[in-house]
């Protein structure tokens, strides 16, 4: 499984309030509409920069810290961002992201730059520039994470493989 896209680079400690401001938490319930305000407090008009299906957010350490706000990974996914790469992720953000089928890659992001065009090979654990130049290696995805992403998150995974009969 390979993901390709343009890099939008952010720094360390990007919290869930930076991803989506709490002021919208109760006023907008539609995630597609909410995604229009993604990162607006730290990068105004970021939504208009996104190329849906071809955009990758790159961060530093502790990406997604803060509240357990589930809207944070949802707006990333709904905005058309296909993956987040960071040096490390906050635990709750990590879990919420995989629950909805948003891939996260933990890797050294030092040599990944704004506007780079990159290819992320989830099976080999390699991030490279589009020209093939390797940037960094990471732990390849195991079969569970690949299947979770392929199915679009934990609910679909449980419907297919679990004993639970979920109706959503």
Can you spell out the DSSP letters for 99-162?
Answer: HHT--EEE---TT--TT-EEEEETTTTEEEETTS-EEEE-PPPPHHHHHHHHHTSHHHHHHHHS
pLDDT reading at 168 higher than 70: no
Question: Kind and range of the H or E element at 81?
Answer: strand 81-86
- Between CA 154 and CA 148 the distance in angstroms is 6
User: May I ask the CATH architecture of the domain 2-161?
Assistant: Alpha-Beta Barrel (3.20)
- How high is the pLDDT of residue 138? 96
State the average pLDDT over residues 111-118. Answer: 96
State the average pLDDT over residues 56-67. Answer: 94
Mean pLDDT score across all residues of the chain: 91
- How high is the pLDDT of residue 92? 93
State the average pLDDT over residues 47-59. Answer: 97
State the average pLDDT over residues 21-48. Answer: 88
Distances in Å between the alpha carbon of 139 and those of 67, 106, 144, 161?
27, 8, 14, 25
- How high is the pLDDT of residue 166? 52
pLDDT tens digits, one per residue of 76-100: 999 999 999 999 999 999 999 999 9
Of 121, 19, 116, nearest to 68 by C-alpha is 19
Which carries the bigger pLDDT value, residue 161 or residue 67?
161
Kindly report the pTM of this predicted structure. Answer: 0.90
| Token pair for 89 | 């992720």
- How high is the pLDDT of residue 167? 58
Which carries the bigger pLDDT value, residue 153 or residue 7?
7
pLDDT tens digits, one per residue of 136-155: 999 999 999 999 999 999 88
pLDDT reading at 164 higher than 70: no
- The answer to whether residues 17 and 8 touch, using CB atoms and an 8 Å cutoff, is no
Query: Strand 55-58 relative to strand 2-9: parallel, antiparallel, unpaired?
Result: parallel
Q: What percent of the chain has pLDDT over 70?
A: 96
């Amino acid at each position: 499984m390979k993901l390709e896209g343009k890099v939008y680079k952010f720094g360390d400690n990007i919290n869930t309030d930076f991803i989506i401001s709490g002021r919208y938490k109760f006023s907008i319930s539609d995630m597609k509409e909410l995604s229009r305000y993604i990162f607006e407090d730290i990068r105004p008009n970021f939504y208009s920069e996104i190329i849906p299906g071809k955009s990758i957010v790159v961060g530093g350490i502790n990406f997604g810290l803060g509240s357990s706000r589930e809207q944070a990974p949802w707006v990333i996914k709904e905005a058309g961002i296909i993956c987040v790469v960071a040096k490390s992720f906050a635990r709750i953000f990590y879990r919420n992201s995989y629950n909805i089928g948003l891939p996260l890659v933990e890797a050294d992001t030092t040599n990944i730059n704004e506007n780079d065009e990159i290819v992320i090979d989830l099976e080999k654990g390699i991030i490279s520039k589009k020209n093939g130049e390797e940037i960094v290696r990471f732990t390849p995805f195991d079969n569970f994470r690949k299947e979770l992403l392929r199915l679009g998150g934990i609910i679909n995974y449980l419907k297919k493989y679990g004993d639970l009969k979920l109706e959503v």
